[in-house]
Amino acid sequence: MKNIVLTGFMASGKSSVGKSLAQKLNIEFIDTDNLIEQNLNKKITDIFKENGEQYFRQQETKVIEELSDLTSCIISCGGGVVLNKYNIELLRKNGIIINLYASAQEVYKRISNNKDRPLLQNTTIEKIQSLMDYRKPFYENCDISIKTDNLSVEQITDLIISKILV
């Protein structure tokens, strides 16, 4: 089976949906952010703070290169993975790219009080919207797109399964 690769803006539901899909399909769940944290033994926020975003992006690509030969896995990607075309080319080799998206209002609601996302500290709905607008064409480079506002993790999981099993 091809991998199911979940992309999308921060807090669009990739990790929760990814875990749920993995459980339902009884296959492995992989999260690129977790792999980076494990490799460097450091939290994402500290990597951004101490090594900078560019270094983080290099680590992201390294992790994707390492997992690009796998099959039959759920791969949940950090929200910025799509910004590098090479990452998506690698992921597409064995995978179906599914983009999850949520409105800026919904993302704002989900991330309030969360300190784990360096790019969304002290943010506003307007700033989220502007980053989303910039990234839109990158997220649109996918095979299936799903709007997650008002859908439960379970509903999104079933929707993805129904779309890939046609």
**What residue ranges bind ligand S3P (CB under 6 A)?**
10, 14, 33, 44, 78-80, 117-119
State the nearest-atom distance from the C-beta of 165 to ligand S3P, in Å: 26
Q: Which is nearer to ligand S3P, 3 or 32 (CB)?
A: 32
- Rounded to the nearest 5°, which phi and psi values hold at 97? -95, 120
State the nearest-atom distance from the C-beta of 59 to ligand S3P, in Å: 10
DSSP 47-108: HHHHH-HHHHHHHHHHHHHHHTT--SEEEEPPTTGGGSHHHHHHHHHSEEEEEEE--HHHHH
With CA atoms as reference, report the closest residue to 8 among 84, 101, 145: 101
State the nearest-atom distance from the C-beta of 46 to ligand S3P, in Å: 11
Q: Which is nearer to ligand S3P, 122 or 162 (CB)?
A: 122
Q: Which is nearer to ligand S3P, 126 or 165 (CB)?
A: 126
CB 74 within 8 A of CB 28: yes
State the nearest-atom distance from the C-beta of 166 to ligand S3P, in Å: 27
Q: Which is nearer to ligand S3P, 1 or 126 (CB)?
A: 126
Distance CA 156, CA 149 (A): 10
